[in-house]
Chains A and B, each alone.
Chain A
Amino acid sequence: MKPAPFTYHRAEAAAHAVEVLAQFGDEARILAGGQSLLPMMNLRIVAPSHLIDISKTADLMAIEADAQGLEVGAAATYRRVIEYGAIGQFPIIARAISHVGHMPIRNRGTVVGSIAHNDPAGELPAVALALGAEVRLKSVRGSRSVLIDDFLAEAYTTTISDDELVEAVRFPRSGAGTGHGFSEYSRRPGDYASAGVACQVHSHESGVVTGCRVVTFAAGGPVRRHHAAEERITAEGATGLDVGLAAQATADSATADHDRYHRRLIQHLAADAFGQAASSPRGSRRKMNR
């Protein structure tokens, strides 16, 4: 199938993109890499009247790491993010991207587009939620930043307004004592995941867990955090992170309505993710001391 007719707008700058958005509101869609939007348009699941192409918009291309974190502009492809020099300082982002589709998809698809699309099986919304990323929104009315927790809503839905563009997403840099994990299973590499878990664990130098964020994706329902699991893991982490308990807590929270296969799968993935998190904080601390 082919896309339904639409009017095409090539955005010269972010300011131009939001002007068109202000004019056409919910009749317009932003086209970045198009690796989710164009299949949906080809299948006529969506048929926007106006398409605003930002794939070559110069002021949305930037990828920049500073002392606070990594900022990724709306037009930055997965490939450019993976090839960015400082991506090694954000290994969980690189790990998440490695699971996205196939290489030609990663050559066009964008990190920010994935977050704005909020596919329930999206790796990038999951990792952004685990890291507590900040979403920068722009419209002709001005700019605002929202925490990812307040941005992602139900599957394929966010709290963005019709006239707003996601200009960039900022992933915070984690300090010493922070570990991360990301684990997903799909029957064939590159396919949509059968389930996935992303986590971030803060622990004191003594090993005491001081906080965590636990996220599931492709696990039925939208990409979401599990506050009950987080509280249990933190409460019982006084003597250090217990990977088995953390995996159990995640499965208990995420899989109330699931069959036995998915309960076991999510528990296994959570054990893998927390295992990564348990081994990474010491590593980051060593790096900080050097």
Chain B
Amino acid sequence: MSAPVSLEIVVNGATIDGRVDARTTLADFIRDGCGLVGTKIGCEHGVCGSCTVLVDDLPVRSCLMLAASAHGSTVRTVESLAGVELSDLQKSFRDNHALQCGFCTPGLLMTAQALLESLGNEEIDVREAVSGHICRCTGYEPIITAIEAAMRPRQEPAP
């Protein structure tokens, strides 16, 4: 056994003050420690992108970060996106058929969410931004279409 490590971390707005086995990855902590199983664990070596969450507002691989290293950080997972209803980004994924089995979706949503939040005047290359995510069923075109649609300014409803 590795010795437990003390940890204070904010996950989806809730402060968690506890102890964790030193070798616990952030991905396992989120799923097993917090019960937030929206975050998926695929390859466990940083290739597939399924476990991507936001740590201090930046997308990171939660399988390549120890929970202990997230001490003092703010973490957001896919569960933070929807309120009573799905978020506009999630609706855009649904409307554009950007998911099929849904395994890669939580990671893609969090990377896309970071893109939406950092939208300034700069040109953002969505393909480049999501290139670290592997989808094995839907294909990438609908995913990129969905993210680009969510990035466009809201259109006024027709009178």
Q: Are A102 and B131 touching (Cβ within 8 A)?
A: yes
Asked whether A82 is an interface residue with its Cβ less than 8 Å from the other chain, the reply is no
Which of A4-12, A152-160, A197-205, A266-274 interfaces with chain B? A4-12
Are B46 and A39 neighbours in the complex by a CB distance under 8 Å?
yes
A56 to B8, CA, bound (A): 14
Cβ–Cβ contact A104 & B111, under 8 A: yes
Most buried by A among B66, B128, B131: B66
Neighbouring A residues of B131 by C-beta, 8 Å: 102-103, 188-190
The answer on a CB contact under 8 Å between B59 and A34 is no
Interface size counted on chain B using CB atoms at 8 A: 30
Contacting pair A38 B64 (CB below 8 A): yes
Q: Which residues of B are found within 8 Å of A10, using beta-carbon distances?
A: 5, 68, 71
Asked if B72 contacts A56 (CB within 8 A), the reply is yes
Q: In chain B, residues 25-63, which have Cβ atoms closer than 8 Å to a Cβ of chain A? A: 25, 28, 44-46, 49, 52, 58-61, 63
Find chain B residues with CB under 8 A from A107 CB: 58-60
Residues of A within 8 A of B116 (CB): none
Verify A35–B28 contact, CB threshold 8 A: no
CA distance A31 to B49 in the complex (A): 21
Instruction: Give the residue among B25, B61, B128 with the most A Cβ atoms within 10 A.
Output: B61
CB distance from A217 to the nearest CB of B (A): 20
- A206 CB to nearest chain B CB (Å): 40
Hey, what's the 0/1 contact readout for B109-143 against A, CB within 8 Å counting as 1? 00100000000000000001101100000000000
- Give Cα distance in the complex from A280 to B49, angstroms: 37
As a 0/1 sequence over residues 83 to 115 of chain A, the CB contacts with chain B under 8 angstroms (1 = contact) are 000000000000000000111110110000000
Q: Which residues of B contact A1 (CB under 8 A)?
A: 44
CB distance from B121 to the nearest CB of A (A): 16
Q: Residues of A contacting B132 with CB < 8 Å?
A: 101-105, 190
Binding site for B on A (CB under 8 A): 1-8, 10, 31, 34-35, 38-39, 42-43, 51, 53, 55-56, 79, 101-105, 107-108, 188-190
What would be 18 A-B contacts, judged by CB atoms less than 8 Å apart?
A: A2-B28, A5-B1, A5-B23, A8-B5, A10-B71, A31-B69, A34-B66, A35-B64, A38-B25, A38-B63, A38-B64, A39-B45, A39-B46, A104-B58, A104-B111, A105-B46, A108-B64, A189-B128
